[in-house]
Amino acid sequence: MGNIYIVGVGKIRFNKYPTETVRTMAEKAVNLALADAGLRKEDLESVYFANSFWGMFDKQDSIRGQVIMRGMGIDKIPVTNVENACAGASTALHLAYTGIRAEMFDVALVVGSEKITNPDKALSFAAYARAMDVENFEKHIELITGLGKSFKLPDMANETAPGQGRSVFMDAYAMMCRWHMDRYGTTQRQLAEVCSKNHFHASLNPLAQYQNTMSVEEVLADAPITYPLTRAMCAPVGDGAAAAIVCSENYLKKLKDVMPVKILASVHGQGADRDMDGIDIGERLSKKAYEMAGVGPQDIDFAELHDATAYGELHQSEVMGFCPEGEGGPFAESGATRLGGKIPLNTSGGLESNGHPIGASGLSQIHELVTQLRGSAGKRQIDGAGIGLAENGGGSIGVEEAAMCIHILEKG
């Protein structure tokens, strides 16, 4: 079996787009990826399309990818629709990877597009709750709030109920963060360090939703969401699309003037029914990814981690093996995760600043990895970037993600 490569990427700036649709954003990302790979629509042999909420907002519940592809003049080839919450786009990439490994086809398009902004903000926030066990939603909320209030930390009595005025996922992240603070002494200021760093990275990224810098003090002084999270520490609501083109080693030989990036590992898994002391899904899957790639965490030059909140990055930096368990806070505070540091994390700005349109986020991470590995990241370019990792989680059941994908890419 030959290697598998990413030969084209495309992404529109993540933002709030009142006049754009899931369809129009996807079309733009696809055309950018095709142009980047130097391919025509007719060259594609398979398509994987990721989206979560088009049906909820605009009633397009089925054949979403076919609707968009047919409208673009891409027909006859198989189109697979993927819905896996925040991990939808990375799951679509994993499926394209496995299809090529199985020699079912040689070149595939992967695209994710999502529109979450809505004049009714309550509807936007309500969408996130559908990425949990809806039938047992109340039990999940009781678990989140119960665990969160069991730690000896600031009183939360004046906070609004979970999901009111914010995504319910912010409550889940806050609960896990309070556990981490109670167990390891992690501080709110360390979370602010993560967030401030990501705002700085995003200020260098013309495709990021937020491009303003924020000091640690400004992050701490921002509007409180649910302790210890302030507004700046949480990913914004937004819209966007991203795409990638994947091909086999044999197909790559046919192409000219491309800058290929090799996929060393593509791993997909489900969370487990565990307590807070159990083995984390990220730890389990990263070990599989490292084994598949033939590398270890010490070989990773940079990473895009799923930071729907600042705590997400702090936690994933530990379970990916970049620092010891419980030391994510001091690790961020040391400057190790900033551009120029030991292992730059979320050079795109992360979900906190680059943006988090659910169905597109995983491919946005891949876009950043490919851009860095090609040496095309401009002012945020990492010197000597050779191997990058992307971790993308989706949904929540119990105390961890319902789904996760990890990809490790190497400079072509």
Which residues are part of the catalytic machinery?
Answer: 86, 356
Neighbours of 332 (CB within 10 A): 27
The helices-and-strands tally (H runs, E runs) of the chain is 15, 11
Stretch (H or E) spanning 114: strand 107-115
Q: How far apart are CA 322 and CA 385, in angstroms?
A: 16
What b-and-e string marks burial along 265-276, b requiring 16 or more CB atoms within 10 Å of the CB? bbbbbebeeeee
DSSP 191-244: HHHHHHHHHHHHTT-TT-S------HHHHHHSPEEETTEEGGGBPPP-EEEEEE
- Confirm if 115 and 54 have CB atoms less than 8 A apart: yes
Distant-in-sequence, close-in-space partners of 134: CB < 8 Å, separation ≥ 6: none
CA 34 – CA 53 distance, rounded (Å): 25
Q: What CA dihedral angle connects 84, 89, 94 and 95, to 10 degrees?
A: 70
Q: Measuring CA to CA, how many Å separate 130 from each of 23, 88, 134, 354?
A: 22, 14, 6, 23
CB atoms within 10 A of CB 313: 29
